[in-house]
A and B are shown apart, each in its own frame.
Chain A
Amino acid sequence: MATILENSSEMRSATIDQPVLIHRFVFHGKGKDLFDIFIVNLLRTIATLGIYSFWAKTATRKYLWGQSEFAGDRFGYHGTGKELLLGWLKAIILFGGLIALQSLIRFVDHPSAKILSEALFYIGLAFLVPLAQTGSMRYRLSRTSWRGIRFTFRGDYTPFLWLSLRGYLLTALTLGGYYPYYHCNVRRFMTEHSYFGSTPFMFNGKGKDISGIYGSIVGVALLVSFLAAGAAIWLGLFTLLLLLPALGIIQVWFSTKMRRYYWNQTSFENCVFECTITTKELLMLHASNLFYLIITLGMALPWVKVRTMKYHLEHLRIQGALNLEGITQQAMTAKDAGDQLGDLLNVDGVFG
């Protein structure tokens, strides 16, 4: 159903005997169903003074995963609310411990206590954020299945911590110049340690390319800001109001470029991912979402979520002959703390 034989002559000339197969993602979710889930979640969360929120999150994920289809089969979500609750408790202890330690040092009556407590907080964060990043990948992938086979994340904390610390340090030393390379390294680490069953994903992206995207974006943003400043001087301050939407458009343009680049550099066995989102469509999506949210006072949130997910999923596809022979189940246990630590620290899921 979702596997379509593409017959364009252009593609045929590229690979002479083998037909190029396109495997598509489909999202079947409906705003109405998600709205129902949200309402029930809301009631139970209130009735339990918030404790149900972990089960609510699980119910929502179960629905979203189950409505996502790849090559004719739905994904499955296997996490539980109890895992999220326990994970949250552990994350609170870790993060809360850091905050408590910081506050304690602050009370010490010494001139350098304040600086020390501040420094301790950021050093602690530098260690916790990578833990949250790997932890949430490990948890989410291990609880996701397709055709009964689990995904896994096998990246260890220690090498990722070194990668991150090096990234923070070099970014600071190069006044941000190293950041695109660090960003690309994180993506590589995350992708290459992700497995479907026994087979890993592969990543071919280069920091140099990301650096180019960042460079062009910073250049355009600066140019626009200068133009706006100039216009403000000649035409009046009201032109500055145009700067905000202009920067918003640049931001969408940037995230489109990044997303496309990262996915297009990702492969699995001899199939490559292809991301076909465009800045224009994404802008339209964001603008209409914002409009719906405003006129419904936020009630349109489930529909907005569904539209966004549908757009992103259905603009991602896999090209090539997908050979699933030889892939076997290699499910692994995963700690439950990572996911919630990620939530607490507001660490985004690495795969957007």
Chain B
Amino acid sequence: MTETLPPRLQTAWTGHYYDGRTPTRQSTTIILAPTGLELQLANGTRAYWAYRDVAQTQGAYANEPVRLERLTPGQQIPEALVIEDRAFLQALTVVSKGHSRQFAAAENRRSRLILAAVGSVAALAVLIVWGIPALAEFITPFVPVSWEVALGQSVASELAPASGRCTSSKLQNSLNTIVARLVVNGSPKVYDFHITVLDSPIFNAFAAPGGYIVIYRPLLEATNTPDELAGVLAHEMQHVLQRHATKGLVRDLSLSLLVGAILGDVSGAGAFGVQAARRLAILHYSRATEEQADQEGMALIHAAHIDPQGMVAFFTTLEDHAAGVEPPAYLSTHPDSNARIAALKKIASGYQSEQPTSLLPNDQWNELKKLCR
């Protein structure tokens, strides 16, 4: 930038002055001096506004007059100058040099805007793919177990109402024995596990937060040995222990808060309610959480000295079911069985060295599992 002012730069302008005490509008001439504005009001009053005291509050847009304000010490409301001709702004930025950053038109923002748009999309993607899951991972340990239990209880009583539950105490005792083996030898005792068998035609099993596991009758009857059922239970128990549902809820909450903030609806609680209901209704987990539940479930099986081949066998049976006309619901939430069976086999072979102890006599199992009818 040159030291001298451009020769044709207009330094005398007209505008209106408002004193901040009355709504009177006064015409004024404005002279752009090197360190400030010299005002000559219609009533003869003169004033000098140093650039460092002046703030621009309007005039960033092509159809907006330039508005400058100056707050006199001790006053609450500033005086103001309004200049209709926006060419004034260019002249002002040139003359006020050192202070030119105070005064800006919003022109030439096109490229910045495109950048901003691309940036928003990228930032949003990063946030959703990595940021929010990481946040959920961080927050979930702070969620009290008692909340999970209260939530799980209501989910279980909603999806598996007492009227539809199998009441055989013999069956229930056997299930409790299996769970007790898995708990004593494997997991830290944070959750009390409650296993319910639901008399329903659907082939499914799910774990609600807090330790509430529901097995549907057809799935139970499809197991050939107690070891196979132990495999399913270990898997579902790991969903609880790894707090997968809770993490999902925290993730949904963060996401809906973010979306709410973007859309200007900061409360956003309504949207979250819908999301949460949906999530709990299907208890759907991502592939990563399924793999984790498989892997850690297998570790439980191993620690409990149960035959790991049972879990492998069950998922193989499941795969056979998938070939049928109606794939079981359990599969739709536990996809990709072939790769999964291979992975399970691999883990199981690593645990093969020890001799498993049997859970229950296998020959009784066929009677036991049918006690629900």
Give A contacts to B, CB under 8 Å: 28, 30, 33, 36, 39-40, 42-43, 45-47, 49-50, 53, 56-57, 62-63, 66-67, 72-74, 76, 88, 145-150, 196-197, 324, 327-329, 331, 340, 343-344, 346
Contacts and interface: CB of A to CB of B under 8 A. Distances in A.
B57 A76 contact: yes
Given A39-B120, A40-B113, A53-B266, A66 B58 contact: yes
B120 A43 contact: yes
A28 B109 contact: no
Contacts of B47: none
Given A39-B120, A147-B25, A148-B80, A76 B64 contact: no
Nearest to B150: A107
B364 interface: no
Contacts, number: 111
Nearest to A52: B261
A37 to B, nearest CB: 9
Contacts of A148: 18-20, 23, 77-80
A63 B258 contact: no
A147 B266 contact: no
Contacts of B119: 43, 47
24 contacts: A30-B63, A36-B106, A42-B262, A43-B120, A45-B261, A45-B262, A50-B258, A66-B58, A66-B61, A67-B64, A72-B25, A76-B67, A145-B77, A147-B24, A147-B25, A148-B20, A148-B77, A148-B78, A149-B20, A150-B77, A324-B23, A329-B20, A331-B76, A343-B266
A64 B63 CA distance: 12
Q: How large is the interface on B (under 10, 10 to 19, 20 to 34, 35 or more residues)?
A: 35 or more
Nearest to A324: B23
A30 B262 CA distance: 21
Given A30-B63, A46-B262, A50-B258, A73 B82 contact: yes
Contacts of B267: 343-344, 346
A327 B21 CA distance: 9
A73 B21 CA distance: 16
Nearest to A49: B258
Q: List the 8 shortest-distance A-B pairs measured between CB atoms, nearest first.
A: A50-B261, A148-B18, A43-B120, A147-B23, A43-B116, A53-B261, A324-B23, A66-B58
Contact of A76 (B19, B24, B58, B63): B58
Contact of A46 (B19, B62, B82, B124): B124
Contact of A39 (B63, B117, B258, B266): B117
Nearest to B262: A45
B249 interface: no
Contacts of B261: 45, 49-50, 53
Nearest to B118: A43
B94 interface: no
B195 interface: no
Contacts of A47: 119, 123
Contacts of A76: 57-58, 67
B264 interface: yes
- Interface of A, secondary structure class, is mixed
Nearest to A88: B266
Contact of B22 (A46, A145, A329): A329
Contacts of B127: 46, 49
A23 B260 CA distance: 39
A318 B117 CA distance: 41
A148 B124 CA distance: 40
Interface string B233-277: 000000000000000000000000110111010110000000000
Interface centre among B62, B80, B267 (most CB of A within 10 A): B267
A38 to B, nearest CB: 10
B137 to A, nearest CB: 16
B309 to A, nearest CB: 46
A77 to B, nearest CB: 9
B65 interface: yes
A29 B321 CA distance: 63
Contacts of B79: 148
A331 B65 CA distance: 24
A311 B119 CA distance: 34
A148 B58 CA distance: 13
Interface centre among B19, B23, B116, B120 (most CB of A within 10 A): B23
Contacts of B23: 146-149, 196-197, 324, 327
A145 B78 CA distance: 11
B77 A329 contact: yes
Nearest to A60: B264
A53 to B, nearest CB: 5
Contacts of A197: 22-23
A66 B18 contact: no
B113 A39 contact: yes
B63 A67 contact: yes
Interface in B326-369: none
A66 B123 contact: no
Contacts of B65: 74
B120 A46 contact: yes
Interface string B70-86: 00000011111010000
A146 B58 CA distance: 13
Contacts of A50: 257-258, 260-262, 266
Given A28-B64, A36-B109, A42-B262, A73 B116 contact: no
B63 A28 contact: yes
Nearest to A36: B113
A49 B25 CA distance: 44
Contacts of B76: 331
Given A46-B127, A147-B25, A74 B67 contact: yes
B58 A39 contact: no
